Structure 1
Amino acid sequence: MTIVKPIIPENFYRPSAWQTLLYVVYGLSLSLIPCYMIGLLFETSIPMVLKIVLSLPCMVVAGYGGFMLAVAGHEGFHFTLHPNRHVSGALGVMISSLVPGAFAVGFFASHWEHHRYTNQPSDPDCKTFSRFRTFFQRLFFARLAANRNYLRYTLAMAAGRDLGFKYKPPFSRSEMQMFALFNVGCQIVVVTCFAVLAWAHTYVFLQYVAVPMVGIIFIGGLSPYQMHAGTGLGLGYDSRTNSSAFWTLLQAGSNYHNEHHLYPRVPCWRLPQVHRILLREDFYKGGDMCLEPRFWAAFMQASSTYQLAATVDVDSETDDFNET
């Protein structure tokens, strides 16, 4: 079904240095402050079982903060962090590399294909995430499987190889190779620093690195299903927006995923404003677009029997992503 997208203000597309900085500071704060609170909790005299139970919400929030930093790689390669697309991509790589195992360049190559063929046979996300059928498979293994793919793609591009995706990113192969090498270098530096920290200050490493990483694996595993499981085909129908204010606080706007697919060059932190425009224009009224205002329903989606898989045998010839 063809839709008509409301026109949004041109300045929504314009990157902002101070807003990018605020996004990074917010992600770091959301990650580190709960870790500090866990440390305070374990210094109390309450029973150990109670300490562990009370620390779990902090771990989840810290995971969302770390996931925000990883999502900066996504933002960078949608060119929302800086007016120069090369600088935007490099910033995305550097910020996301604060999360060990976040290979933004490999993700980028795959993600470009995902936008062009969302929920279709050539969508790489369908191939990766449809393998996991239960809530706990998705929780524990989905993000690890995706990150393994992104690592493999990054290393292949660093070696100058073509990945074979049909939809090519807006960079030459040599530029992609340089990005990939830069990504590998950033990860080596970060992992080395964290290894030294683990050796010299094990408790600090566990508190401020290991705790968010566990949360990131869980959150990143469920996220694709919350955004796409049970959705349809075509712009406006192939993605889900979870519009609860709690999700916006935890994800800084990237929870407005339908808006992201409709306007992929808009920074995630402006997507709530885009959503309000769509509501004002009755874009969601009377349609089959996936809009979920309930907070807990996002976890129901992640455990839904709907599988993230293509429902058609051939790819659409319509390039909705190019038309954005």
Structure 2
Amino acid sequence: MPAAPRVSPSQLFTPAEWAPFQTRSAWRGPLLVAHCWGIIALAVLAGVLWPILIPLCVMVIGTRQLGLAILMHEAAHGALAKDLKLNDWLGHWLCAVPIGADLGDYRPYHLSHHKYAQNPEDPDLVLSAPFPVTRASLRRKIIRDLTGQTFFKQRVLFAFRAYASKRDEDTAEGAVVTGKSVAPFLIVNAVMLLGLTLAGVWWAYFALWLLPLATWFPLVTRLRNIAEHACVEGSATDAFRAARTTRASWWERAFIAPYWVNFHAEHHLFMHVPCWRLAALHRAVRAKPQGAAMEVAGGYLAVMRQATTPQSAPLVTPD
């Protein structure tokens, strides 16, 4: 089995240059979890008080549900908290379970992705292998996401063993429902529904939690997956090109790519660097001659154009 190529930090940095990227924080990860839930709570409140804002709130909440998946990913790498017990508790109960995932199942799956990135044994290869696709194909995928079809496939059909073997780009994402995650997901969501019912706004669970989870969350998860690995030439053989980094504007960070998830090339180079240090790592790597090999896109729209055009120009842009 060919493993993905690796780069040692010593090939790019002196010990002093690398030291800031090795440290773990006792408070940054828990604060990010609180921040994520805080934004969700404020968006739910805004939707309840001003129903005209519900479409905007659905997008905000769906993006922060992706944020929970990203912070679960941090926990899978042991980077969410210094204390590993706290790291796993936060990553599982406050990040994974509410969106229907299981940290214990996700961790080995995801680490296998890192070990074999873009090689045949990569469990996530199915997410990037189909691209580029036609614009019509991408539109169909987006329609499936926004109409809840992807959610139904992941949360209902995939839960049945007879369907579980039918893996495609809709069901291969590591955060999909597994047998172990169904019951905790239902219990936590029942508690959410009960709490909102007692507050006199039972409908808010369906309009401002379940609807984002069934529509915007699958869409931005798909866009993230495409941007991370699709159409990166040499991704299976060059560590600097194992993934793509996408420069995200403020609106893209708000509605598509929270918590530095857009810095994916840096994450694959050095997967134990916490997410909040990836922007600094991007600047540090790009300052080195080797950094010129990295795939850096100018935005998510640029990535989608490349992913739907069979012969497109490279998306690398100068700093």
The two structures have a TM-score, normalised by structure 1, of 0.69
In the TM superposition, residue 226 of structure 1 has moved relative to its aligned partner by: 1.2
Q: Retained in 1: the 8 A contact 2:30–2:80?
A: no
1:194 aligned residue (192, 195, 199): 192
**Residues 119 and 137 of structure 1, relative CA distance in 2, 3 Å threshold:** farther
CA distance in 1, matches of 2:43, 2:298: 26
CA distance in 1, matches of 2:306, 2:152: 20
- Which of 138-147 and 289-298 deviates more? 138-147
**Residues 224 and 294 of structure 1, relative CA distance in 2, 3 Å threshold:** closer
CA distance in 2, matches of 1:12, 1:236: 18
The reply to whether residue 264 of structure 1 matches residue 271 of structure 2 is yes
The reply to whether residue 239 of structure 1 matches residue 237 of structure 2 is no
Q: Retained in 2: the 8 A contact 1:103–1:150?
A: no
In the TM superposition, residue 67 of structure 1 has moved relative to its aligned partner by: 0.9
In the TM superposition, residue 253 of structure 1 has moved relative to its aligned partner by: 0.9
CA distance in 2, matches of 1:143, 1:104: 19
1:17 corresponds in structure 2 to 26
Q: Retained in 2: the 8 A contact 1:63–1:215?
A: yes
CA distance in 2, matches of 1:13, 1:305: 40
CA distance in 2, matches of 1:130, 1:199: 44
**Residues 128 and 283 of structure 1, relative CA distance in 2, 3 Å threshold:** closer
CA distance in 2, matches of 1:295, 1:193: 36
Q: Retained in 2: the 8 A contact 1:67–1:216?
A: yes
Partner of 1:284, secondary structure, is helix
Partner of 2:208, secondary structure, is helix
**Residues 144 and 257 of structure 1, relative CA distance in 2, 3 Å threshold:** farther
Amino acid at match of 2:90: L
In the TM superposition, residue 215 of structure 1 has moved relative to its aligned partner by: 1.7
> Over residues 133-165 of structure 1, what are the superposed CA-to-partner deviations in whole Å (9 max), with x where a residue is unaligned?
522444326676667899789xx9xxxxxxxxx
In the TM superposition, residue 255 of structure 1 has moved relative to its aligned partner by: 1.0
**Residues 125 and 138 of structure 1, relative CA distance in 2, 3 Å threshold:** farther
In the TM superposition, residue 217 of structure 1 has moved relative to its aligned partner by: 1.7
2:65 corresponds in structure 1 to 66
CA distance in 1, matches of 2:263, 2:239: 14
**Residues 195 and 32 of structure 1, relative CA distance in 2, 3 Å threshold:** closer
1:228 corresponds in structure 2 to 229
Partner of 1:106, secondary structure, is helix
2:171 corresponds in structure 1 to none
- Which of 113-122 and 83-92 deviates more? 83-92
**Residues 194 and 55 of structure 1, relative CA distance in 2, 3 Å threshold:** closer
- Which of 252-261 and 102-111 deviates more? 102-111
Amino acid at match of 2:30: L
1:164 corresponds in structure 2 to none
CA distance in 1, matches of 2:103, 2:158: 7
Structure 1 residue ranges without an equivalent (≥5): 43-50, 157-179, 307-324
Q: Retained in 1: the 8 A contact 2:72–2:92?
A: yes
Between Structure 1 and Structure 2, how many residues are aligned? 268
CA distance in 2, matches of 1:128, 1:295: 16
2:103 corresponds in structure 1 to 104
Q: Retained in 1: the 8 A contact 2:231–2:307?
A: no
The two structures have a TM-score, normalised by structure 2, of 0.70
Q: Retained in 2: the 8 A contact 1:138–1:222?
A: no
Amino acid at match of 1:267: P
Q: Retained in 2: the 8 A contact 1:38–1:55?
A: yes
2:261 aligned residue (240, 251, 254): 254
2:123 corresponds in structure 1 to 124
Q: Retained in 1: the 8 A contact 2:117–2:242?
A: yes
Q: Retained in 2: the 8 A contact 1:67–1:219?
A: yes
2:138 aligned residue (135, 139, 161): 135
Q: Retained in 2: the 8 A contact 1:14–1:80?
A: no
Q: Retained in 2: the 8 A contact 1:35–1:207?
A: no
The reply to whether residue 79 of structure 1 matches residue 82 of structure 2 is no
**Residues 184 and 293 of structure 1, relative CA distance in 2, 3 Å threshold:** same
Q: Retained in 2: the 8 A contact 1:241–1:290?
A: yes
Q: Retained in 2: the 8 A contact 1:198–1:206?
A: no
CA distance in 2, matches of 1:34, 1:303: 33
